[in-house]
Chains A and B, each alone.
Chain A
Amino acid sequence: MATEQFKIKGMTCSSCAMAIETIANKVNGIRDAQVSFATETGTFQAESETSVHRLKEQLNRLGYSLEPLSAGHPIAVGMPQEEMIREKIKLVLAATLSVMIFLLEMGPLMHWPNHQMNHWLQAALAFPVILWPGMRFWRGLKSLVYGHPNMDSLVGLGMLAALIPSILTLMFPGQVRSLGLDARVYFEGIVFIIFFIGIGHFLEAKAKGKTFSALEALARLKASSARLITSDGEMIVSPNHLKWGDRIIVHPGEKIPADGEIFQGQSSIDESMMTGEPLRVSKKIGDKVIAGTINGDGILRIEVMGVGEETFLAQIMKSVTLAQQQKPKLQHIADRVGKWFVPFILAVAVITFMAWWIFGPEPRLGLALNALVAVLVIACPCALGLATPMAVSVASGEAGRLGLMIKGGETFEKANDITMVAFDKTGTLTEGRPSVSEIFFHSSVDSEETKCRTLAILKTLASFSGHPLSKSTAAYLNEIDISGIDLESFENVPGRGLWATIQGDKWYLGNFSFLNENAVTLNDIPVSTQEKISILLGCASHAWSVVITFEDKIRPETAGMLALLQERSIKTLLLSGDNQKVVDQVTRELNLYFGQGNLLPNSKKTVIEKYQQAGERVAFVGDGINDAPALHQANLSFAVGSGSDVAHASSDIVILRGNLFKLVEFLNLSRRTVKIMKQNLVWAFAYNVACIPIAAGVLYPAYGIKLPAALASLSMALSSLSVVFNALRLKTK
C-alpha cells in the first residue's frame, strides 16, 4: 500500500468531497480515502498503479480530475489567473443578463413589446447564462444520476424544476393555459440563482486562497539554485539535483539550498523565517544548517545531509499540508449529518411542493414551484462542510508560520483542553549545552606536572566522544597540549562513558557508576559535585583523578513561558533523568508544581500515566528522541529540536530550538481554533434548521412570508461565506 496525494479539481462543495471518498473507497485497491474540500486535495492508500488509474477513471466520469501533489510543492488553492478572469467574465455576463431579464419580467419593460415576445426575449437572454455560468449545476445533476448527489445537484434540480414549466409556457402557451395552469416563465429566478451562487463561490475561492498564504511563504523560502563543488570547480545546479554527501558552496546573501553540515568557513545565518529568532546565528565548521535560511557575510562550504523532501523545510510544509487535510473530530459529526442531508432535502422539497400544490393559494403551481426551488437552493450543506476544515486550514497555516510542525487537524482539539504540561529538563527547559563550571583534582594529583598530564588525558579522551559533556570538556580545555598523549586502545561505551589505554594504564571517563564498576576508587569526592551534573576521569585500581561539574543554563524564555502557563491555570511538571537534588533546585527556581528526578525514559511515561488516571490531561515537552515513550503516552506531545533531528520526532508538534514561547502561542491558537470551529458548526446547523422551514413556506399561513428563490440563493452564498470569513479571523495579520 502506498500513500498517494492528489490535487482534486472540479469539487464545488463538501458533498463532492464526501462523494469522492465514497467512490474511492469502493474502487478495488483503494483504501482510507481522505478528501478535503477546503484544501482541494485527497490522500488515498493505493495498492498499485492500476488501482490509482481506476480511481482516476471513476472520478473523471463524474467531472473530477486528479493531479499528483508532492510535499515540496505548495498546494495552490483558489483559482489560477486565467480561471479567475473566466469566472469574472461569467459573473459580469450573469449580472448583466439577470438585470435585463428582471426589467423584462418585473420592471418597466414588463409585457414589452408584447407578452409572448417578452417571454422569448427573456429566454434568449437566459440561455447563455444557463448554458455557460450555469453548466456546473447540470454536472451536479449528472452526479445525482450516478447516485452521488452534491450541492450542485440540489441547485440543478431546482433549476430544472423552474426551467421545464418555463419552456412549456414558451413553446405551448395555449395548451398550458387550457390545462388551468399559470402560463409563467421563471427565467429571472434561474439566472439570479446562478449569479448569486456564482458570486458566492468566487469570493469563497479568493478567501480560500488566503488561508494558504503561510504555506506559500514557506515555499518561497526554497533556493532556486545551488553551487555544487565538482572536480572542475563550481557548477550551478538545481537544488533538486543535489544528493546526500554532495559538497556545495554558499556565497554571502545566498539562500542555503539543502540541509547540511559546514565543513569549511564560518558565517552568521539568518534563520528568522524558520525560528522567529531575529538575531543572526553564527555558524562554524561542524554546525548544521537548514535549507531556506540565508547566509550572512561569510563563504560557507557545506556537505549536503538532506535534500528534497528530507529537508526540514519540506517536512514542515508536508506537516502543514497533512494537517490541513486531516479532519478534526468535530467535522465527523458534520460529515455524518451531511451524508443524509441531500436525500433528506429532496424529500422535504417534494413534500413542500405537494403541500403548496394541494393546499396553497392560487397560482398554486407557481407558488409550489417557487417553494420547491427555494428549499432546494437554500439547503446547501456547504457551510456545514466548510465549518471546521476552513478553521483547521487557517490554523495549520498559522502554525506553520510560527515554525511549528503539527501532525493532523486533531492536534488543535487535543491542545484545547490540556490541564498539565510536563517538561523534560536538559535541552527543553535548559539550553542543552552544558558548560564546564568547576574542575576538582584528587589530592594525589598535586604537582603542576601531573595536573597538566591529567588534563591532557582528559582532553584526549573527551575529544574522542560525541557526548555533549565530553564535547564541552574538550572545548573548555582548548589550550591544553595533548601532543604527548598516545592512546594504544580505546572504546566508546554508549550511554556510560569511554576507556582508553595509555602506556599500559587503563583510563576511564564517565559517570560515577561507570568508574565504580571499573575498579576506580571513589573516595573523597567533593560533596558539592554530587548536586551537579558531573563526570569523572580515573585510572583503574587507582583513586579518581579529576571530576568536572557542568552548568546547563536555563533558557532565557523559560520563566516567562512558565508564568504564562500558570496564569492559564495549567500545572507545570519537571520530569528528568538528572539526580533529584539538581531537579529540586530547578523546581524551586522556576516555581514549578512538581519535579521528579532519577527517571529513565520509561518511568517518565509511568508518571504521566499516573496523572492521567487522576483526571489530568497532560502535554509532554521533550527533546523528541530520548523521550519517545513519554511523548507517546501524553495526551499531546511537543518536541523541542533543531532542524536536523525534528523530522524523526515522534510527537504531535515540533518546536524549533530556543522558542518555548511558541508552546503558549500554540495553546492559544488551539483555543481560538476550537472556538471558531464550534461557532461555525453552530452557525451552519442553525442556518439550515432555521432557513429550510422558511423556504418551505411555514411562515406563509400566519404571516404571508415566503422566500423568493433568488433570495434563497443569496442567503445560501452568504452562509458559506460567513464561515470562511469567520475562520480567517484566526490569521494574526
Chain B
Amino acid sequence: MSDKTFLFDVRGIRCEGCAKKITDALVGHGFATKLDVDVQSGKVTIQGQPSTTAMSLKTEIEKLGFKVSKFETK
C-alpha cells in the first residue's frame, strides 16, 4: 500500500523554529515519513504510513501547543 497524505491547517506556527518542532516530533517519533511546513500560511503537508490516522497526527500536533483548525486526508 502507498503512503497516505494529510493536509493540515495549523494555528500558532510563527517561525522556522515552530516548523522544526513539528517536524522533529512527527518524523522523529515515526508518525510521518515526510513533512512540509509552510510557515506563512500555517499549512502542513504530512506523508504517513498507511496505518497513520489524521486524528493521531492532530493529537500529536496539538500536544506541542498548536491548534489544528482543519485537516483532510488525500
Taking Cβ atoms with an 8 Å cutoff, the residues of A that contact B are 245, 460, 464, 486-492, 501
Q: Which of B38-56 contact A (CB under 8 A)?
A: 53-55
Within 8 Å CB of A490, what residues of B? 54, 58, 68, 70-72
Within 8 Å CB of B54, what residues of A? 486-490
Is the pair B73, A488 in contact by a Cβ cutoff of 8 Å?
yes
- Bound-state Cα–Cα, A287 to B55, Å: 23
Shortest beta-carbon distance from A645 to chain B in Å: 17
Is the pair A492, B55 in contact by a Cβ cutoff of 8 Å?
no
Give me 20 other A-B pairs in contact (C-beta within 8 A), A245-B65, A464-B58 excluded: A460-B55, A486-B53, A486-B54, A486-B55, A487-B53, A487-B55, A488-B72, A488-B73, A489-B54, A489-B70, A489-B71, A489-B72, A490-B54, A490-B58, A490-B68, A490-B71, A490-B72, A491-B70, A492-B69, A501-B72
Within 8 Å CB of A501, what residues of B? 72
Is the pair A492, B70 in contact by a Cβ cutoff of 8 Å?
yes
- Bound-state Cα–Cα, A97 to B70, Å: 85
Shortest beta-carbon distance from B70 to chain A in Å: 4
- Bound-state Cα–Cα, A555 to B71, Å: 39
A-B CB proximity, top 6 nearest:
A489-B72, A491-B70, A488-B73, A492-B69, A486-B53, A490-B71
- Bound-state Cα–Cα, A501 to B53, Å: 13
**Contact sample, A vs B, 18 pairs, CB 8 Å cutoff:** A245-B65, A460-B55, A464-B58, A486-B53, A486-B54, A487-B54, A487-B55, A487-B71, A489-B72, A489-B73, A490-B54, A490-B58, A490-B71, A490-B72, A491-B69, A492-B69, A492-B70, A501-B72
Residue from A245, A460, A488, A492 having most chain B Cβ neighbours under 10 A: A488
- Bound-state Cα–Cα, A487 to B57, Å: 11
Query: Closest residue of chain B to A460, judged by CB?
Result: B55
- Bound-state Cα–Cα, A110 to B9, Å: 97
Shortest beta-carbon distance from B17 to chain A in Å: 12
- Bound-state Cα–Cα, A339 to B54, Å: 72
- Bound-state Cα–Cα, A415 to B58, Å: 49
What range describes how many residues of B lie at the interface? 10 to 19
Q: With contacts defined as CB atoms under 8 Å apart, how many contacts are there between chain A and chain B in the complex?
A: 30
Shortest beta-carbon distance from B69 to chain A in Å: 5
Shortest beta-carbon distance from B22 to chain A in Å: 15
Within 8 Å CB of B71, what residues of A? 487, 489-490
- Bound-state Cα–Cα, A315 to B8, Å: 37
- Chain A binding site: helix, strand, loop or mixed by DSSP? mixed
Shortest beta-carbon distance from A244 to chain B in Å: 11
Query: Closest residue of chain A to B69, judged by CB?
Result: A492
- Bound-state Cα–Cα, A245 to B69, Å: 22
Shortest beta-carbon distance from B4 to chain A in Å: 10
Within 8 Å CB of B68, what residues of A? 490
Shortest beta-carbon distance from A463 to chain B in Å: 10
Residue from A245, A489, A490, A492 having most chain B Cβ neighbours under 10 A: A490
Residue from A245, A460, A489, A501 having most chain B Cβ neighbours under 10 A: A489
Within 8 Å CB of B70, what residues of A? 489-492
Query: Closest residue of chain A to B54, judged by CB?
Result: A487
Within 8 Å CB of A488, what residues of B? 54, 72-73
Contact with A along B3-21 (1 / 0, CB 8 A): 0000001000000000000
- Bound-state Cα–Cα, A460 to B65, Å: 20
Within 8 Å CB of B69, what residues of A? 491-492
- Bound-state Cα–Cα, A542 to B73, Å: 23
Query: Closest residue of chain B to A485, judged by CB?
Result: B55
Shortest beta-carbon distance from B21 to chain A in Å: 11
- Bound-state Cα–Cα, A460 to B71, Å: 14
Within 8 Å CB of A487, what residues of B? 53-55, 71
Shortest beta-carbon distance from B7 to chain A in Å: 8
Shortest beta-carbon distance from B3 to chain A in Å: 15
Query: Closest residue of chain B to A466, judged by CB?
Result: B67
- Bound-state Cα–Cα, A488 to B52, Å: 11
Within 8 Å CB of A486, what residues of B? 53-55
Within 8 Å CB of A245, what residues of B? 65
Shortest beta-carbon distance from B60 to chain A in Å: 14
Within 8 Å CB of A460, what residues of B? 55
- Bound-state Cα–Cα, A460 to B55, Å: 9
Shortest beta-carbon distance from B9 to chain A in Å: 8
- Bound-state Cα–Cα, A491 to B71, Å: 7
Within 8 Å CB of B9, what residues of A? 491
Shortest beta-carbon distance from A31 to chain B in Å: 35
Within 8 Å CB of B73, what residues of A? 488-489
Within 8 Å CB of A464, what residues of B? 58
